[in-house]
């Protein structure tokens, strides 16, 4: 789900972020929020010797460990 820039900044400022810092942060993470870095790389395979998995799958499998 892509969150519009203005909505993301609004959420941050509602949490107490200064508007300029919220806008800067939204710009910095914009490519991530838009899914532009959603590929699986081979770093996990090289470091741990197993196939990587999508972060969403990790969260779904791990949520119980965090009391959710």
Query: Domain-by-domain residue ranges, the chain?
Result: 1-37, 40-68
33 vs 58, which has greater pLDDT? Answer: 58
4-46 per-position pLDDT tens digit: 899 999 999 999 999 999 999 999 988 887 778 777 778 989 9
| The pLDDT of residue 1 | 62
Token pair in block for residue 16 = 């107490």
DSSP 15-55: TT--HHHHHHHHHHHHHHHTTTT----SHHHHHHSS----H
Cα separation, 14 vs 9, whole angstroms: 9
């Amino acid at each position: 789900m892509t969150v519009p820039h203005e909505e993301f900044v609004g959420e941050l400022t509602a949490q107490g972020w200064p508007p300029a810092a919220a806008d800067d942060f939204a710009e910095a993470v914009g490519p991530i929020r838009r899914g532009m870095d959603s590929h699986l790389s081979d770093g996990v395979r090289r470091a741990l010797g197993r196939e990587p998995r999508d972060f969403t799958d990790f969260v779904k499998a791990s949520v119980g460990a965090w009391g959710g």
